[in-house]
A and B are shown apart, each in its own frame.
Chain A
Amino acid sequence: MAETSDPDDLKARVEQIGRDAGAERVACCMFDYHTRGWWDYQGDEWFHAASTIKVPILVGVFGAIHRGRLARESRVHVRNRFLSVASRQPFRVEAARDANAVVPQHLGRTLKVDELCFHMIVTSSNLATNLLVDLVGLDDLRASVKELEIDGVQLERGVEDNDAFDAGISNRVTARGMVKTLRHIEEGTAFSVEASARMLEIMHEQEFRSGIPAGVPDGAKVANKTGEISTVAHDAAIVYLPGRKPYAITVLTEWEPGSSGRHDTIARISRAVYNHLTAAGKKNA
């Protein structure tokens, strides 16, 4: 299919990419600051959030900072012991599932809130995430999401809480909800300009770049957060291209366990959205 600026063509293209890859479900939502326009494909469909929930958690932590409950420099005891929201039984996050080595190295000691935020996003540290959820509390995190009027995000628990998973309690997002979250960060309205700038700075340090960033040219700067478990693979990003205003985009995908080609599919959808936007730019030029 030729790349055009027709939104219906883009929907057909995204649908086709998902179908070709064998994805069970695909959703994509995008807000373009250049045209101030929204576009989505299944943007209000709910998906298991996987690690994309760490962006709303990041926003929630900065909400707690904004309310004076803690400071970025506040030190947090690093302890790998959490209570399930379902059974109240203790559980630990598995070190093998964490790409981050820094946080486990501080077991028994402390790390700053800002450092935990960094590790939660940049290497998707589950230990850092649960420490922040434990520290701030789900109610306070949800209050931040609510205060920013972000619908499309359901924050129910930390990560690796298997008892909660078995009880059907999971974090869920929609593509549109994630883009709304990204927009607050980009627009400096996530509690303050300074807080938003720090969140964006952290997201720019992302180490997992095989999704949305892989679908845009090398000259682009991308602040993103991935999420992946056995049945889903996602990416949420703000894409900065030379010579135009940025766009916020989220791609959510659902798969049969063990299926392959997930990152490539997200990258191809990212490429399709990029082509659509640049085709629109050429048309408007």
Chain B
Amino acid sequence: MPDATVLKMVDGTTLGAEYRAVLRPGELMRDRSRRVRRLPRFFYEIPSWDVALDTQLAPHFQLWEFINVDVRETELLRASWPRYIPCAVSLLAAYLELFRQEVGTYVHVAANGGYRSPAHRFSGHASPHLWGTAANIYRIGDDWLDDDRTITRYGKIAEKVLPGIRALPWGHGVGETDDQLHLDLGYTVVVPSDAPGEEDAGPVPGHDAEIAEVGAR
């Protein structure tokens, strides 16, 4: 099976208008606490579902697991090809591989629980899922992650073995989770070594308006 190195890396700002409208490369977006975050600009291009099924991001994680979305994702990113995923997903896969080694069994990423675009119906605010750096895990081996004990237990394992990881605590409120384990690396951006520099991108859509708004407050 090929690994992620076979995937073409693209600068999202050079994509067609249709893709830029849903991926919003380099744009600013607010998180749940109204803090401004800059969306990723560099993506892997996935030409087909077969490639997604076939490409290993890590020894036990394939690319398709991170782009498995439902009807809540925009049609462009679920019903047609190519699709795009932020390059930081390779970091997430590496982290999950370490986690898998620790738990010693299968780690299942939920639908909608890997990368989802800013156009996804769940993307009302910036979350690391839009950076390709978060995973919702619904099952580990035979354990379903749907109670306090199991979510807390695996969350602690993740935080022990994965430096800098965030595991949302069990609970029913905002910033908590009760039917899956949410792990994320924060708003991590990967800029490939041979990527064009920032000066080549030109004006970043949304930047000026957002900064002006932030400055005015």
Contacts and interface: CB of A to CB of B under 8 A. Distances in A.
A21 interface: no
B71 to A, nearest CB: 4
Contacts, number: 45
A76 interface: yes
Interface string A77-109: 111110000000110100000000000000111
A89 B111 contact: no
Q: Is the interface of B mostly helix, strand, loop or mixed?
A: loop
A273 B144 CA distance: 49
B172 A90 contact: yes
Contacts of B72: 77
B71 A108 contact: no
B95 interface: no
A79 B179 CA distance: 8
Nearest to A112: B71
Interface of A: 70-71, 74-81, 89-90, 92, 107-110, 113, 135
B42 interface: no
Given A90-B172, A108-B139, A75 B71 contact: yes
Q: Is the interface of A mostly helix, strand, loop or mixed?
A: loop
A135 B70 CA distance: 10
Sorting the interface of chain B by its residue count into under 10, 10 to 19, 20 to 34 or 35 or more gives: 10 to 19
Given A75-B71, A76-B70, A135-B71, A108 B178 contact: no
A84 B172 CA distance: 13
Interface in B70-114: 70-72, 78, 108, 110-113
Given A80-B179, A90-B172, A109 B71 contact: no
A107 B138 CA distance: 8
B152 interface: no
B179 A77 contact: no
A78 B112 CA distance: 10
Contact of A89 (B71, B172, B180): B172
